[in-house]
């Protein structure tokens, strides 16, 4: 259409300035720089994960102990409960033990704990009468060690004690579990010597296998050999990686 003899024309589009980059171009370059920086940055573990691991380890160190369960086995009247009482008296400062003269034959189960540094031993003292020996294997799967007590003054029952011990070491549930054999009542002059007891139990040697095993002289009545036996057991259960400890709060 013409107005006053002139043709209407659309206004010309503005020219982009060469010195000012477009917004789209700026955005693309910014995204590229961000991607390059992200790729170059090392991948770090989340701070919260590291803090949790640190605090968890600190809590375990300060407020928890590694707990190992140890069975005390042997015939009745071998001195198992007396050994347990002497152990608690020697390792637990504030423990007031019962009079050793008042200890009677165990019928069922006695439980006691001993703390050695950061390690706690939970003892299960089981009755040794023949009718109670059938219950021993019910505790094998959860235990970390075995203390087998022999009355070295009772030569007449030595064969019976050997038969019970042979059943213990033959159990697959105790494979790899350390065993401490205590020749108790060594304070009595007429007792059997350690070599005598080893000879009497020699048939069981092949069934012990590669597990840790120690035969030690002991007098649960006087306390001789008690500390040495406990410290040996602690070393053995701690290094046995096949049966890890339970975690218990320090009380």
Which pLDDT does position 61 carry in this prediction?
56
Domains plus CATH for the chain? 22-64 (no CATH), 65-242 (3.40.50.300)
60 labelled ligand-binding: no
Which pLDDT does position 165 carry in this prediction?
98
The structure's pTM equals 0.74
129 is catalytic: yes
Q: In the predicted model, is pLDDT for residue 35 greater than 90?
A: no
229 labelled ligand-binding: no
Give tens-digit pLDDT for 129-168. 999 999 999 999 999 999 999 999 999 999 999 999 999 9
Give tens-digit pLDDT for 9-23. 555 555 554 444 554
Report the phi/psi class of residue 4: left, alpha or beta, with left for phi > 0 and alpha for psi in -120 to 50. Answer: left
Say which of 28, 129, 163, 247 is annotated catalytic.
129
- 8-22, 110-124, 175-189: least confident range: 8-22
Whether the CB-CB separation of 217 and 180 falls below 8 Å is answered with: no
Average pLDDT score over residue span 166-173? 97
Which pLDDT does position 20 carry in this prediction?
46
pLDDT classification of 106: cutoffs 50, 70, 90: confident
Which pLDDT does position 59 carry in this prediction?
55
Give 121-154 as a DSSP string: EEEEEE--STTTGGGGGGGGGG-SEEEEEEETT-
247 labelled ligand-binding: no
* pLDDT averaged over every residue in the chain: 83
Which pLDDT does position 33 carry in this prediction?
57
77 labelled ligand-binding: yes
207 labelled ligand-binding: no
Which pLDDT does position 199 carry in this prediction?
96
Q: In the predicted model, is pLDDT for residue 31 greater than 60?
A: no
User: Which of residues 4 and 175 earns the better pLDDT score?
Assistant: 175
Which pLDDT does position 74 carry in this prediction?
98
187 labelled ligand-binding: yes
| Contacts of the segment 95-103: beta carbons below 8 A, 24+ positions apart | 100/221
pLDDT classification of 105: cutoffs 50, 70, 90: confident
User: Which of residues 93 and 179 earns the better pLDDT score?
Assistant: 179
Which pLDDT does position 14 carry in this prediction?
53
Average pLDDT score over residue span 172-195? 97
80 labelled ligand-binding: yes
User: How far is it, in rounded angstroms, from Cα 236 to Cα 232?
Assistant: 6
């Amino acid at each position: 259409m013409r107005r006053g003899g002139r043709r209407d024309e659309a206004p010309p589009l503005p020219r982009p300035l060469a010195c000012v980059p477009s917004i789209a171009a700026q955005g693309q370059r910014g995204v590229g720089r961000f991607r390059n920086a992200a790729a170059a940055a090392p991948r770090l573990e989340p701070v919260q994960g590291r803090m949790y691991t640190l605090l968890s380890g600190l809590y375990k160190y300060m407020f928890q102990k590694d707990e190992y369960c140890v069975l005390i086995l042997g015939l009745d009247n071998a001195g198992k409960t007396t050994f347990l009482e002497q152990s608690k008296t020697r390792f637990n400062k504030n423990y007031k033990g019962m009079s050793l003269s008042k200890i009677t034959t165990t019928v069922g189960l006695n439980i006691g704990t001993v703390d050695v540094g950061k390690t706690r031993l939970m003892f299960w003292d089981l009755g040794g009468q023949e009718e109670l020996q059938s219950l021993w294997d019910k505790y094998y799967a959860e235990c970390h060690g075995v203390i087998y007590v022999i009355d070295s003054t009772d030569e007449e029952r030595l064969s019976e004690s050997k038969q019970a011990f042979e059943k213990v070491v033959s159990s697959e549930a105790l494979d790899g579990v350390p065993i401490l054999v205590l020749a108790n009542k060594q304070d009595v002059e007429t007792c059997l010597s350690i070599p005598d007891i080893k000879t009497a139990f020699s048939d069981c040697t092949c069934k012990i296998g590669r597990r840790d095993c120690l035969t030690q002289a002991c007098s649960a009545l006087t306390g001789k050999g008690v500390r040495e036996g406990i410290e040996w057991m602690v070393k053995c259960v701690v290094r046995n990686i096949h049966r890890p400890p339970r975690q218990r709060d320090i009380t």
